[in-house]
Structure 1
Amino acid sequence: MGRFRRTLDTAKASWAVLQHDRELAVLPILGAIASLGVIAAIGIPIWLSTDGIDDGGSSTGSEPMLWIGGIIILFAITVITVFFNAAVVSGARERFSGGDPTISSAIKGAFSRLHVIVPWAILALTVGMVLRAIQSSDNALTRIVGSLLDMAWGVLTFLVVPILVVEQTGPFSSVRRSGELLKQTWGENLIAQVGFGIIGLVAAIPGILIFALGASAGGVGAVVGIGIGVVWIALVSVVISTLTAIFQMALYLYATTGQVPMGFESSGINDTFHERSQGPLMRGFGGGGLGGGGLGGRRF
């Protein structure tokens, strides 16, 4: 029950930041639109230029082009995903530093880190493809091992994006740094990853039910129900993604400074942080709360 309470406290604190800077939630939407644009711009021409329409892309001549196109699309989507995640993290950093982030400032913050975002995207995509290959094995034990490795990779790299934004290190250095910070934040790391996932699943249930009812209704009801369900689930995904990115920045700041970012210290999450602290915990970044001048006065 205590862990569940901590999850709610974490979500509430992140939600308070999002309420103050709602534009941060627009960034994942822009990322999704950009990803769809990449699929349309690259995927459709490749598909049309091969035998994909005639035989499902099964001919020998079309397969290499489809594979190359697929890899290019996956890489582009990975870069876009990391980029806009970094934009949200950058915006949260600006808020925690006492600023007032905008969509433009967040995107500029991520763009200035493009030189470390792209190498990290390459590593993340490579590791992800290897893990997916392991998980798709016919051997049940191998699939289990693959799932465990995938989970471990997610925990290990949880703070990589804040590290890219703040420290601007290379992919391997960022992973190593994230692992170092994991030693003092592993509890909060797991709480966030599992807890936010559960909250997202619960919040998506109405959308799932509406989708199912619409699919079984037929006719216009099916179109309306499925449409509403898809939009609901998409919005939940956007919100959870944004809340997670905000918390990643807050956790990184705590792990590297020993301070609990303003907006988190009064939510009960400070007790969780304090359990990992090696000494007296320095609280807050100055006055101001969530309103007015921002979440604090110290810049990082």
Structure 2
Amino acid sequence: MGLFRRISIGFGLARRSGRVLRAHPNLLAFPLLGGLAGLAFVMTVFGGLFVADLGSGVVMYATLFVVYVVETFIASFFTAALVAATRETFRGEEPTVRASLAIAWEKRWQLLAWSVIAAVVGVIIRGIEESSEIGGTILAAVFSFAWGVMTYFIVPVIVFEEPSITGMFKQSGRTIKRTWGESLGTLSAISIVTVLLVLGGLGVAVVTFLTVGSTGLPGLVATVVIGGGAVLLAFLVGQALTGVAKTALYVYATDEEAPEFFEDMDFSQLGGGSQRSAGMAGGRI
């Protein structure tokens, strides 16, 4: 299956994920909460770093490790809540923010273990990147890409399974093998959609500025609030679409059944050649 076909399927997944968001807009709460928590942590950390001289070596890498652990845990925790809520929508139920966060909290130790491992890898990649100017940067980029691919389904595995530490990586790896093209196609398609939404938000900011910018400070405030809100919404939608589509891919790859909102999606080409569901959806995208 060609690249453009993969991206086309990715757009199909993104469009159907949009159906889920329209039916359950409260799913946007999870990327919003995650973003606010991450922002609060980053501001706290950089506030401390501003008055501290870390120098280099062990202290710097130890600080990076702590930052990576906390940031990864925050992102994974709220992604886990989004994944759990999305699964409820696939079952025809109405998810609540509180119940979904409770499910993520039940998985806190697995999420913490994943965050620690991801932080170790992040520090290693940073070390490789700084080992030399060009070679280190290229090697770090390749390593980072491979790591991202291998761990693409880590959070759904943690939420839906009871894996060991090694089991979560094995299950994520098996799932990415079965959905390789669709996963990358979906990521590309949703990235394009997010960029378009952000550009739309910037367009709103420009229109607002041209309309009321001449009014001085009130016009500037209105431009920042309206334009900034539009851009923020674009990012939230992009994050939510990614979580919903990833959950849909994982559910099909493990259950071999198209979830609700995706019944008209042809999943028969998962993994680039599997015909397990050849009778589904008549090849529609």
Same fold (TM over 0.5): yes
CA distance in 2, matches of 1:282, 1:126: 45
Spell out the pairing of 1:237-252 with structure 2 (5 A cutoff).
237-252=235-250
Report the aligned-residue RMSD: 3.2
- Count how many residue pairs are aligned between Structure 1 and Structure 2: 272
* Deviation (angstroms), 1:132: 3.5
Q: Could you tell me which residue of structure 1 aligns to residue 232 of structure 2? A: 234
Q: Deviations over 1:199-234 (max 9, x none)?
A: 2112212334566896xx896355544444433332
CA distance in 1, matches of 2:252, 2:188: 20
Q: Could you tell me which residue of structure 1 aligns to residue 267 of structure 2? A: 270
Partner AA of 2:73 in structure 1:
V
Moved more, 174-183 or 112-121: 174-183
- Which runs of 5 or more residues in structure 2 are unaligned? none
CA distance in 2, matches of 1:209, 1:64: 45
Question: Relative to structure 1, is the Cα distance of residues 196 and 99 closer, same or farther in structure 2, using a 3 angstrom cutoff?
Answer: same
SS state of the match for residue 128, structure 2? Answer: helix
* Deviation (angstroms), 1:242: 1.0
TM value normalised by structure 1: 0.77
Spell out the pairing of 1:134-283 with structure 2 (5 A cutoff).
134-136=128-130, 138-208=132-202, 220=217, 223-266=221-264, 268-273=265-270, 276-280=273-277
Question: Relative to structure 1, is the Cα distance of residues 123 and 274 closer, same or farther in structure 2, using a 3 angstrom cutoff?
Answer: closer
Aligned partners of 2:54 and 2:60 also within 8 Å: no
Q: Could you tell me which residue of structure 2 aligns to residue 82 of structure 1? A: 76
Q: Could you tell me which residue of structure 2 aligns to residue 295 of structure 1? A: none
Q: Could you tell me which residue of structure 2 aligns to residue 297 of structure 1? A: none
- Which runs of 5 or more residues in structure 1 are unaligned? 285-300
Q: Deviations over 1:272-294 (max 9, x none)?
A: 4496435346869xxxxxxxxxx
Partner AA of 2:15 in structure 1:
K
Aligned partners of 2:268 and 2:277 also within 8 Å: no
* Deviation (angstroms), 1:115: 1.7
Q: Deviations over 1:168-213 (max 9, x none)?
A: 3234321121111222111111111222112211221233456689
Aligned partners of 1:43 and 1:73 also within 8 Å: no
TM value normalised by structure 2: 0.81
CA distance in 1, matches of 2:174, 2:54: 49
* Deviation (angstroms), 1:7: 2.1
Pairing partner for 1:113 from 96, 107, 115: 107
CA distance in 2, matches of 1:252, 1:228: 36
Question: Relative to structure 1, is the Cα distance of residues 149 and 222 closer, same or farther in structure 2, using a 3 angstrom cutoff?
Answer: farther
Q: Deviations over 1:155-180 (max 9, x none)?
A: 21111111000113234321121111
SS state of the match for residue 270, structure 1? Answer: coil
SS state of the match for residue 179, structure 2? Answer: helix
Aligned partners of 2:80 and 2:104 also within 8 Å: yes
* Deviation (angstroms), 1:65: 7.7
CA distance in 2, matches of 1:16, 1:196: 14
Percent of aligned pairs sharing the same letter: 27
SS state of the match for residue 267, structure 2? Answer: helix
CA distance in 2, matches of 1:83, 1:59: 29
CA distance in 2, matches of 1:150, 1:70: 16
Q: Could you tell me which residue of structure 2 aligns to residue 20 of structure 1? A: 23
CA distance in 2, matches of 1:146, 1:244: 25
